[in-house]
Amino acid sequence: MVGVVPLVCLPGIFEYALLPRLFALHLCVALACLGWLLQTRWGRDLRPVSTPLTWPALCWAAVVLLSAPATTHPLDTLVEALNQMALLALFFVAAHTLTLRTLRPVLWASAGAGLAVSLIGILQYHGLAFLDIPSAALPSATFGNRNFAAMYLVCAAPLAGFLFLTARRRSARVLAGLSATLMSVYLVYTRTRSAWVGVVGALLCVGGWLAFRPDARRQALEAVRREMDRHRRNLTVGFLALFVALSALPAHRTIAATSRAGLPYLTESRADVVATATSLFQRDPGKRRRGSPRGAPP
């Protein structure tokens, strides 16, 4: 599922990026539930597994179902509730079937899909290929909008980085490191400031937690020293150099001018990485003040 859903796209239909992904998601969840039921002899051999997320997930499902009668659009509510229940079913299947041994193939599928998505987005950014894929804001790869692509990248890139740190074979290290690097480059190319803030916030949270937990910090440092052999250190330096070099490249002029929908892709405040980062601390000149009439100066 993690290798198929990010790549599903069906141009020519309404919601060409969302609806095919939802169909693929529900199909994969249904197949996973069927396989789980067959493995447990239709539940007769089921051994319930409790995780720290079990009760929060059940509470979330209860909130979704109890709030459904209060909505104003029953059909949309039903569709969204089915989507939430599919994700809840996926959570329980994963909690009962995934182990550290079976988790690695899932991570590799995620890294492969992330690598493919990143290559499409990077080629779009430089105006080299895949410009015929419909998009409201390039470079969006198969997601229809670069902001949605950034949401995917901030989740998938750390998983590829984990594979890079734990892979034993050298070829696996190269593939995982390349996937994590190109996903990071594509995240920079999206110019999605909220995703950048999310990454920085996550790093600060992890750093703050390690700062106040000496035992955890010592264990983390020991694990890094143990895994960082000479080959992995050389790869890390090479991937960092590749990230810096690619991130500094400007967008192709056709991408920088307009998106497929005719909307500006890169405003002056997002012309490059430095300008985008600086704009985080400035008021967007393109936005109107709250309460000001249309056409009034911002």
Residues 6+ apart with CB under 8 A from 80: 64
Terminal-to-terminal C-alpha distance of the chain: 45
Other Cβ atoms less than 10 A from the Cβ of 206: the count is: 11
| Helix-, strand-, coil-residue percentages of the chain, each rounded to 5 | 65, 0, 35
Other Cβ atoms less than 10 A from the Cβ of 127: the count is: 16
Query: pLDDT tens track of the chain, all 298 residues?
Result: 899 999 998 888 778 888 899 999 999 999 999 998 888 888 777 788 878 889 999 999 999 999 988 888 988 999 999 999 999 999 999 988 888 788 899 999 999 999 999 999 999 999 899 988 888 888 899 999 999 999 999 999 999 999 998 898 999 999 999 999 999 999 999 988 889 899 999 999 988 988 888 888 888 888 888 888 889 999 999 999 999 999 988 888 766 554 444 444 444 445 556 666 666 666 655 555 444 444 444 4
Instruction: Please provide the size of the chain in residues.
Output: 298
Count the alpha carbons within 13 Å of 6 in the hemisphere toward its beta carbon.
25
Strand, helix or coil for residue 128: coil
| pLDDT of res. 123 | 95
Residues 6+ apart with CB under 8 A from 279: 193, 269, 270
Strand, helix or coil for residue 276: helix
* Among the listed residues 266, 36, 52, 20, the one whose alpha carbon sits nearest the alpha carbon of residue 143: 20
| pLDDT of res. 49 | 80
The answer to whether 21 touches 157, Cβ cutoff 8 Å, is no
| pLDDT of res. 263 | 45
The two tokens of residue 245 are 């070099």
Residues 6+ apart with CB under 8 A from 239: 177, 178, 180, 181
Question: Rounded distance, CA 218 to CA 284, Å?
Answer: 43
| pLDDT of res. 274 | 65
The answer to whether 159 touches 110, Cβ cutoff 8 Å, is yes
Residues 6+ apart with CB under 8 A from 140: 121, 124, 133, 146, 148, 149
